[in-house]
């Protein structure tokens, strides 16, 4: 199973993209990364790593793994959590990046739970994940890359979380990968790697 954790900063990501020869407008992509860094500020992942590392991992998955170079998909990949996890709104994203990127971010933004408690949160998340089946291909690519970043180091998480997240990924995300050969192969390899969680 290939792991995508080389691009810790925009400088390393930029160097990796240049080395790959991918036809990507680095200045425009850098603007999206800078906006994500501005909005996420000092947020950290559960592991304590700067939040931007997750966004750059998703970008690395798309560029280095799946050979995706579509600008809107790449911008949405680094902005995919700004509405869900920061004070940024869809209007803020649209003002800076236009309607196409905003639509993709909207598709992958989990709506807030109606009600309180664990059950309400789980119900909202399940509804959001089911809704992704109707998403455009570009939004699905963003979600697939996001989840690769989240599950590639699943063994660093608490055991109960590992089993729950593994099952959720099999139920909702793996079927989304079926039309995408690279993602289908990656998730098959991931599934074998973490088969002990079944």
CA-to-CA distance for 190 and 79, rounded, in angstroms? 25
Spatial contact of 142 and 104, defined as CB atoms under 8 Å apart: yes
CA-to-CA distance for 180 and 182, rounded, in angstroms? 6
Is 84 catalytic? The answer is yes
* Interacting residues of 186 by C-beta distance below 8 A, sequence separation 6+: 1, 2, 65, 148, 177
Catalytic residue among 84, 92, 138, 180: 84
Is 44 catalytic? The answer is no
Catalytic residue among 2, 27, 81, 85: 85
CA-to-CA distance for 13 and 119, rounded, in angstroms? 38
Mapping DSSP to helix (H, G, I), strand (E, B) and coil, where does residue 38 land?
helix
Q: Which residues are catalytic?
A: 84-85
């Amino acid at each position: 199973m290939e792991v995508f954790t080389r691009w810790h900063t925009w400088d390393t990501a930029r160097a990796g993209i240049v080395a790959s020869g991918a036809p990507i407008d680095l200045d425009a992509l850098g603007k999206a990364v800078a906006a994500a860094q501005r909005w996420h500020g000092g947020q950290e992942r559960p592991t304590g790593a700067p939040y931007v590392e997750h966004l750059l991992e998703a970008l690395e998955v798309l560029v280095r793994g799946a050979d995706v170079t579509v600008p809107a998909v790449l911008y949405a990949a680094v902005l995919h959590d700004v509405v869900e996890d920061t004070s940024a709104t869809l209007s803020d994203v649209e003002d800076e990046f236009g309607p196409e990127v905003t639509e993709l971010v909207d598709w992958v933004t989990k709506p807030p739970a109606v009600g309180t408690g664990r059950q309400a949160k789980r119900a909202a998340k399940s509804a959001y994940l089911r809704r992704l089946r109707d998403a455009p291909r570009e939004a699905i690519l963003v979600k697939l890359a996001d989840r690769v970043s989240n599950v590639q180091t699943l063994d660093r998480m608490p055991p109960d979380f590992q089993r729950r997240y593994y099952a959720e990924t099999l139920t909702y995300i793996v079927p989304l990968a079926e039309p995408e050969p690279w993602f289908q192969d990656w998730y098959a390899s991931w599934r074998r790697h973490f088969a002990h969680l079944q």
